[in-house]
Amino acid sequence: MNKILLSMLALVAAVATVAPAAAQDAKPGDQKAGEIKASMCIGCHNIPGYQASFPEIYKVPKIAGQGAKYISSALAAYRKGDRKHPTMRAIAITLNDQDIADVAAFYEGLGKDASAPAKTDMKPPADVEKLLAKANCASCHGADYNSPIDPTYPKLAGQHADYLYAALKAYQVDKNPHVGRNNAIMSGMARQYTHAELRQLAAYFASLPGNVKTVAESRFRGGHQFQD
């Protein structure tokens, strides 16, 4: 285990002892407040093409334009430990419910200036179509994979393929203290596939038009610009 990972795990342990209590009556997310609170997020999620290196190398997910309720549920899962990732855990555990709502509102709103994705009739290849039917992916994430039926579910269309592949694999992991995602529904779905099949699915979702974006932060790129 490298020194960086050991340092991150130590940070998680230290922060866990002083984690703030969740807000009892969190108000609806405030986008302006969230922009300030997102200062710890922009160094990864607002740099186009930025790559994470744990547990493998992949581009960090595009979250501008993602639904606020999904972002909130993801951050809550990292805070609780249902999603295991040392860096995200160390950040999420410092956030109370209001912080999470505000950051989520900021990133949802950050993508609203993007033009709506063009409607297409992208019929998947026959082999991919069979894989999609196996878990009936569209029943939760929408026929276009950009309109989930529940706001706590993510938009998949246009997301980075390598991130989606890493995320799907994480649902197959059991009893690892540092890697994995605990979600009974997604675990059951993901376990049906080989890693090669998960790559196919991830590549297909990434190829679809969607409205999740990476927006370059003004301090890094001289202004909010949609980069990918």
132-149 tens-digit pLDDT: 999 999 999 999 999 999
Closest to 119 (Cα-Cα) out of 145, 137, 144, 151: 144
Secondary structure letter of residue 189 according to DSSP: H
What percentage of the chain carries pLDDT values higher than 90? 78
Q: Where are the alpha helices (DSSP H) in the chain?
A: 3-16, 31-37, 42-45, 68-80, 86-92, 97-110, 126-135, 138-141, 161-170, 184-190, 195-207, 218-221
Q: What is the pLDDT of residue 217?
A: 82
Q: CATH number, domain at 29? A: 1.10.760.10
Non-local (6+) Cβ contacts of 180 within 8 A are 84, 170, 171, 173, 174
- For residue 12, what are the domain limits? 3-226
**Count of structural domains, the chain:** 1
2-28 tens-digit pLDDT: 444 444 444 444 334 334 444 446 799
Using alpha carbons only, give the angle 59, 183, 136 rounded to the nearest 5 degrees.
85
Provide the residue type at 206 as one letter: A
- Residue 207 neighbours by CB distance under 10 Å: 14
Lowest mean pLDDT among 19-23, 95-99, 136-140, 224-228: 19-23
Distance of CA 183 to the CA centre of its chain: 14
